[in-house]
Amino acid sequence: MPEAEKLVHYVEEGIDLTRNLARGFFSPELEADGLSMALQGLAENITERFRIRCVFEGDKSVRIHDSSVATQLYRIAQEAVINSVKHAAARRISIRLATEGRKLCLAIIDDGIGFPENLPQPEGLGLRLMRHSAALAGATFGVRRNSRGGTIATCELKIPSDNDLNFAR
pLDDT single digits (tens) 83-98: 999 888 999 999 999 9
Higher pLDDT, 106 or 13: 106
The per-residue pLDDT for 66 is 87
Around Cβ 154, how many Cβ atoms within 10 Å?
Answer: 19
N-to-C CA span, the chain: 58
SS3 148: coil
Q: Domain extents for the chain?
A: 30-168
Q: Is the pLDDT of residue 52 over 50?
A: yes
How is domain 30-168 classified at the CATH fold level? Heat Shock Protein 90 (3.30.565)
Angle at 162 between CA 161 and CA 166, to 5 degrees: 85
Pairing type for strands 53-58 and 92-100 reads parallel
The per-residue pLDDT for 95 is 98
CB 78 within 8 A of CB 38: no
The per-residue pLDDT for 169 is 46
The per-residue pLDDT for 166 is 52
pLDDT-based confidence at 1, cuts 50/70/90?
A: low
Which DSSP symbol is given to 163? T
Q: pLDDT digits over 97-121, tens only?
A: 999 889 999 999 999 998 766 666 5
Q: Is the pLDDT of residue 61 over 50?
A: yes
